[in-house]
């Protein structure tokens, strides 16, 4: 068992076994004065329906398509998709000019998932039964996109808040389906496969068991899921949502586990909002097995929450300088962050 690493621990490095990268932890820097950028806290008063919102029911989007008068969730192909079903503009001969100038065509699809017709509700504010509907949509989209012959990975994610680049405050997420497995997922794929081969056990099953024993980084749990501030967390209030059962994807969840996921997402996002009494910005996404038709026994379903706020609703964590040029660095220890999160009901 690791020693009790509190906010008074000295400067140290922590290892991320999922990406095989290191992070520098400097707890004493939480005491430094802050005269840097202070964010404007966005006004939270929004109408239930906005006639100018291109995601609200019945409104016209940029593509000139009109949204149906949906009552639960809505899924549509992104009007400004970053991926296209047909690769264009790169010939076979032009794919590799040298070993240093390499490019390949990439096919895929991008979809938008509106969580609710209500313009004014975030995931934290939706009823749990409506979050369960969102979970069902994620599962359906993962299966539907994953069987396409040119799709080998389906990324489900949400960017919440202007600070995280959300172009619209209406509660929604995205799904990008790639022909190739993306970089961050490929790192985790390699690490999990190597751990299974070398240790004969699932990496995240082992990690989950350790966190349940130690307890100091646990934020909350239910029958199906555990939420922790991971030992190697980079963002101040980063969390990792782990399926308690070894299951490779959203599509493999039992009905009771889908209920449990809706419950844990509701409780987790509420804790985020209560931490600084603001609608907490974040980027979150699920990592799960590729959809290439192969067996992936090492894969363990999990979700990452990456929120940028550091000290308050107005002070954010910047990934600049040392972080961009050397390695990630954090001030608040994972244990201290978890303790603060546990107190936010």
Pairing of strands 282-287, 329-330: unpaired
- Pick the more confident residue, 345 or 99: 99
Within 10 angstroms of residue 173's Cβ, the number of other Cβ atoms is 21
For the chain, percent of residues with pLDDT exceeding 90: 74
> What mean pLDDT do residues 279-287 have?
95
CA distances from 107 to 83, 124, 153, 233 (A): 6, 34, 11, 32
Q: Is pLDDT at 213 greater than 70 in this prediction?
A: yes
Residue 5 confidence (pLDDT) above 70: no
What does pTM read for this prediction? 0.92
8 A C-beta contact, residue 184 and residue 330: no
Q: Please compute the mean of the pLDDT values over residues 212-230 and round it to a whole number.
A: 97
Segment 297-304 shows an average pLDDT of 98
Mean model confidence pLDDT for the chain: 90
* Predicted confidence band of residue 96 (pLDDT cuts 50, 70, 90): low
**Nearest Cα to Cα of residue 138 among 112, 166, 108, 103:** 112
Q: Evaluate whether 151 touches 145 at the Cβ level (below 8 Å).
A: yes
Tokens at 60, concatenated = 């016209």
Q: Are 85 and 39 in contact (CB under 8 A)?
A: no
Instruction: Answer whether residue 7 shows pLDDT above 80.
Output: no
Q: Are 74-178 and 182-342 the same fold in CATH?
A: yes
CA distance 9 to 26: 8
Nearest to 221 by CA among 247, 243, 254, 237: 243
pLDDT digits 0-9 by tens, 130-174: 999 999 999 999 999 999 999 999 999 999 988 888 889 999 999
pLDDT of residue 206: 98
Average pLDDT over every residue of 36-56 = 81
Q: How far is Cα 46 from Cα 56, in angstroms, rounded to an integer?
A: 12
182-342, superfamily in CATH? HIT-like (3.30.428.10)
CA distance 11 to 161: 32
Q: Does 84 have pLDDT greater than 80?
A: yes
pLDDT at 39: 63
Catalytic sites, residue numbers: 172
Is residue 1 scored above 60 in pLDDT?
no
* Of 161 and 76, more confident: 76
Name which of 106-110, 280-284, 310-314 the model is least confident about: 310-314
Average pLDDT over residues 114-143: 97
Judged against a pLDDT cut of 80, whether residue 34 lies above it is answered with: no
180 pLDDT exceeds 50? Answer: yes
Note the pLDDT tens digit of each residue in 49-75: 999 999 999 999 989 999 999 999 999
d(CA 146, CA 106): 16
Is 60 exceeded by the pLDDT of residue 36? Answer: no
> What φ, ψ does residue 6 adopt, rounded to 5°?
-95, -175
For residue range 233-260, list pLDDT tens digits in order.
999 999 999 999 999 999 999 999 999 9
Three-state DSSP string of the chain? CCCCCCCCCCCEEEEECCCCEEEEECHHHHHCCCCCCCCCCCCCCCCCCCCCCCCCCCCECCCCCECCCCCCCEEEECCCCCCCCCCCCCCCCCCECCCCCECCCCCEEEEEEECCCCCCCCHHHCCHHHHHHHHHHHHHHHHHHHCCCCCCEEEEEEEECHHHCCCCCCCEEEEEEECCCCHHHHHHHHHHHHHHHHHCCCHHHHHHHHHHHHCCCEEEECCCEEEECCCCCCCCCCEEEEECCCCCCHHHCCHHHHHHHHHHHHHHHHHHHHHCCCCCCEEEEEECCCCCCCCCCCCCCEEEEECCEEEECCEECCCCCHHHHCCCEECCCHHHHHHHHHCCC
Integer Cα distance of 145 and 252 in angstroms:
15
pLDDT at residue 95 tops 70: no
Q: How far apart are CA 8 and CA 217, in angstroms?
A: 16
- Side-chain-side CA neighbours of 177 within 13 Å: the count stands at 25
Instruction: Find the mean pLDDT for residues 171-184.
Output: 97
Listed by start position, the domains of the chain span 74-178, 182-342
Q: Which CATH architecture has domain 74-178?
A: 2-Layer Sandwich (3.30)
């Amino acid at each position: 068992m690791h020693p009790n690493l509190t906010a008074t621990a000295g400067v140290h490095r922590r290892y991320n076994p999922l990406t095989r990268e290191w992070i520098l932890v400097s707890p004493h820097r939480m005491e430094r004065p802050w005269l840097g950028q202070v964010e404007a806290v966005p006004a939270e008063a929004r109408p239930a329906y906005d006639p100018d919102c291109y995601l609200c029911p019945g409104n016209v989007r940029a593509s000139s398509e009109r949204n149906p008068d949906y009552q639960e969730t809505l899924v549509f192909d992104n009007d400004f998709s970053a991926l296209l079903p047909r690769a264009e503009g790169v010939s076979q001969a032009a794919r590799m000019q040298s070993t240093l100038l390499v490019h390949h065509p990439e096919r895929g699809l991008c979809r938008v998932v509106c969580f609710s017709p209500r313009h004014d509700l975030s995931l934290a504010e939706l009823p749990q039964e409506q979050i369960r509907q969102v979970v069902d949509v994620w599962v359906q989209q993962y299966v539907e996109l994953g069987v396409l012959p040119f799709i080998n990975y389906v990324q489900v994610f949400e960017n919440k808040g202007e600070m995280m680049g959300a172009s619209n405050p209406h509660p929604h997420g995205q799904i990008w389906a790639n022909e190739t497995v993306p970089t961050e997922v490929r790192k985790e794929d390699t690490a999990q496969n190597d751990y299974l081969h070398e240790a004969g056990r699932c990496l995240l099953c082992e990690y989950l068991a350790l966190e349940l024993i130690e307890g100091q980084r646990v934020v909350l749990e239910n029958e199906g899921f555990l939420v922790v501030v991971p030992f190697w967390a980079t963002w101040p209030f980063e969390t990792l949502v782990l399926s308690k059962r070894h299951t490779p994807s959203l599509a493999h969840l039992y009905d009771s586990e889908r209920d449990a996921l809706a419950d844990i997402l509701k409780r987790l996002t509420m804790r985020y909002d209560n931490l600084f009494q603001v609608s907490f910005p974040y980027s979150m996404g699920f990592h799960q097995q590729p959809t290439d038709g192969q067996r992936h026994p090492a894969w363990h379903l999990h979700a990452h929450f990456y929120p940028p706020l550091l000290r308050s609703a107005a002070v954010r964590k910047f990934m600049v300088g040392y972080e961009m040029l050397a390695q990630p660095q954090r001030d608040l220890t994972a244990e201290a962050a978890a303790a603060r999160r546990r107190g936010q009901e």
